[in-house]
Amino acid sequence: MMTKMWGSESFMEFGIFGSAQAKRGGPSDDSAVGFREFVDRNISAEKLGYKSSFVVEHHFTGFGQISATLNLLTWIAARTNTLRLGTAVLVLPWHNPVLLAEQIATLDLLSGGRIDIGIGKGYRLNEFDGFAIPIEESDERFQECLDVMLKAWTSDQAWSHDGKYWKFKDVVVEPPTHQRPHPKLWMGAGSDRSVKQVAALGYNMLLGQFDSVEQIAQAIDLYKREVESHGRVYDPKNVAVARSLYILDSEEEYEKALQARMAGRRRTQELTKRPGFEDTREAALLGTMYGSVDIIRQNIQELMDIGAEYVLLNSPNGLTSLETFALKIMPEFSSNLTPASP
Amino acid sequence: MMTKMWGSESFMEFGIFGSAQAKRGGPSDDSAVGFREFVDRNISAEKLGYKSSFVVEHHFTGFGQISATLNLLTWIAARTNTLRLGTAVLVLPWHNPVLLAEQIATLDLLSGGRIDIGIGKGYRLNEFDGFAIPIEESDERFQECLDVMLKAWTSDQAWSHDGKYWKFKDVVVEPPTHQRPHPKLWMGAGSDRSVKQVAALGYNMLLGQFDSVEQIAQAIDLYKREVESHGRVYDPKNVAVARSLYILDSEEEYEKALQARMAGRRRTQELTKRPGFEDTREAALLGTMYGSVDIIRQNIQELMDIGAEYVLLNSPNGLTSLETFALKIMPEFSSNLTPASP
């Protein structure tokens, strides 16, 4: 296992990830409030020194997760200057690949190349049911959508596609992306096999939302070896490790935060219907950094020690923990900055 | 025919319409320049007193018209405060109705209800060919997409749809729109039959991009009578008349502007392949207001006299004509404002 010491040349970068809440059913203002709060949080995060914001895509949740991810990111992009706009992840099986390629290219151009495109196959059964797409088609649909998007971004000459799910004839897709040949692609990886696939494809890797530090260490190590075995240079900033962050000071707060996380996991499981779901405290704690500033500092040091240099923080209490983290912890692990107050 | 006199209680409102240019094939910066210029034009238009910006949706044009219309509008919305964001028009047959409803609702929420949704069936053959959708299906696809979008916006309870082109099962679409029950819908109308349809549906009407003043007068008159025959109150602001505006001062400039319009019409016709295209000066002049400030003032007075109270200006020379118009003509026809310099 690779280890890095604090004080060495390496440094860490931090982003945020998550979703706004825009529930329906109440007066419209309730939904707009969730969006506004999320936009403000992103603007503040940029000022605090966070590098990026990765936003989910989900549909039909009943609790208002973001559905039109690229539109929300476009708004945030127009209100920020340096923040990278990430998707975590766009679920390709739902999308017309040409329309999606156009939307991504448009935001990439408008933002001066600030997009990072996390892509996935989908996993929630309620979404497959809702879109009336058999979950068995997810691999094939993912692959076909990705193939077409890559053609759309990179072809200046007319091309056609006669696939199983999509057909296009004699088209050149506009506009082009700003980043060439296309924005960086990011994929999650939940097994050795998928870590190897992501490395083989040359994509960046999203890790760890529900993984232990040991699992992340193994995945980073494998990914690094695989990238190098393909003759490429490994860049630790190409792996983003997702953690849930809650800075708190009492047993009572801790218990409340953990119970909320357990409730959240159950709520998601009702939509996902994934077999083998473990509704335990231990399972819920995977992926969390809940504790005092000192505890969180140790958590980050652990991540640094296993070679994680890019961490995405999801904060259940919004800007509160993100601000404390940025002011009290981030500077020790970052190269440069004394963050400004938001 | 209804006539209105300047100085009466009625007043006019003005918006802009058109497209950014983001051509592909050159260095990426060429494309971004077109986007940036368009965004700046919209910000300036708001300051000059324009009420709205209506943006086209087109694909595979080869000259870089806007494809991801809602994304560009989202960026513009985030950079403006009062400007209404219009589509002219979203071509429903290209879109998954649930994804489109989510995108529209997201922008509507973020912008505080500033969206106007112009919708259409598509008319360019190269787009139908490119998407591999038979042009014969455009009516059916339009109708099905619209039906599903309306359900998506207005249903707080789970619904299903088992249509010819789309299936959805047991879904509630998030987020809700800000405007209730949904953003205003606008449709173009090119015949008495379609004017009657738009009135019957209770939608607003887009008119005149290539029509004479007489044709517009007839359409407004018919629409008003039809709206009232359905027991609703006619509001002249629910009809938007599109005109191409070029303020110029010499025969030479006039000829150049006209030749450019003729070239533009030919370029579009190559994509559209519509039978009966007339490549004449007379046909190209329909829909234009090209001339001195005095001429344009007369053109606007003519539109006011036939009951047009909402005019959308497309300016081939960008902000130049829009600024002159706002400073020298708009105040005489508007209720309130002395526009600020941009």
Check CB contact under 8 Å for A173 and B98. Answer: no
Per-residue pLDDT tens for A302-341?
999 999 999 999 999 999 999 999 999 999 998 754 444 4
The alpha-carbon gap from A95 to the nearest alpha carbon of chain B, in Å, equals: 8
Report CA-CA distances (Å) from B233 to A12, B85, B199, B244.
63, 24, 11, 30
pLDDT at position B274, please?
A: 87
Check CB contact under 8 Å for A65 and B174. Answer: yes
pLDDT at A29 over 80: no
- Neighboring chain A residues of B31 at a CB cutoff of 8 Å: 109, 175-176, 178
Per-residue pLDDT tens for B233-265?
999 999 999 999 999 999 999 999 999 999 999
Check CB contact under 8 Å for A103 and B71. Answer: yes
**Residue whose pair of structure tokens reads 């505890």 in the numeric block:** A295
Burial letters A191-210, b for 16+ CB under 10 A, else e:
eeeebbebbeeebbbbbbbe
Total residue count of chain A as it appears in this document: 342
Check CB contact under 8 Å for B171 and A103. Answer: no
**Residue whose pair of structure tokens reads 């002395």 in the numeric block:** B338
- Neighboring chain B residues of A62 at a CB cutoff of 8 Å: 172, 174
Of A28, A169, A176, the CB nearest to B180: A28
Using the 8-state DSSP alphabet, how is residue A295 labeled?
H
Which of B151, B86, B149, B146 shows the shortest CA–CA distance to B121?
B146
Which of B188, B184, B233 shows the shortest CA–CA distance to B207?
B188
Per-residue pLDDT tens for B158-210?
999 999 999 999 999 999 999 999 999 999 988 999 999 999 999 999 998 88
Give the range among A275-284, A288-297, A313-322, B1-10 with minimum mean pLDDT.
B1-10
The alpha-carbon gap from B142 to the nearest alpha carbon of chain A, in Å, equals: 17
The alpha-carbon gap from A121 to the nearest alpha carbon of chain B, in Å, equals: 17
Which residues on neighbouring strands pair with residue A92, listed in sequence order?
A: none
- Neighboring chain B residues of A172 at a CB cutoff of 8 Å: 24, 60, 62
Run of H or E residues at B175? none
Q: Which CATH architecture has domain B13-258+287-333?
A: Alpha-Beta Barrel (3.20)
Which of A139, A130, A198 shows the shortest CA–CA distance to A165?
A139
**Superfamily of domain A13-333 in the CATH hierarchy:** Luciferase-like domain (3.20.20.30)
Which of B54, B26, B78, B67 shows the shortest CA–CA distance to A105?
B67
Per-residue pLDDT tens for A100-130?
999 999 999 999 999 999 999 999 999 999 9
Run of H or E residues at B171? strand B167-171
In this structure, what token pair is assigned to residue B169? 């099962």
pLDDT at A256 over 60: yes
- Neighboring chain A residues of B28 at a CB cutoff of 8 Å: 109, 176-180
Q: Quick one: what percent of chain A has pLDDT higher than 70?
A: 93
- Neighboring chain B residues of A72 at a CB cutoff of 8 Å: 106, 110
> Is B45 in contact with B320 (CB distance < 8 Å)?
no
What is the Cα–Cα distance from B231 to B57, expressed in whole angstroms?
33
Check CB contact under 8 Å for A174 and B65. Answer: yes
In this structure, what token pair is assigned to residue A94? 């739902």
> Is A62 in contact with B172 (CB distance < 8 Å)?
yes
Q: Where are the beta strands (DSSP E) in B266-327?
A: 288-291, 310-314
Which of B3, B12, B47 shows the shortest CA–CA distance to B333?
B12
- Break chain B into its structural domains and give their ranges: 13-258+287-333
Check CB contact under 8 Å for A71 and B71. Answer: yes
- Neighboring chain A residues of B103 at a CB cutoff of 8 Å: 68, 71
pLDDT at position B26, please?
A: 63
Low-confidence ranges of chain B (pLDDT < 50): 1-8, 337-342
Check CB contact under 8 Å for A96 and B94. Answer: yes
Burial of A140 (C-beta count, 10 Å sphere; 0-12/13-18/19+): middle
What is the Cα–Cα distance from A12 to B85, expressed in whole angstroms?
41
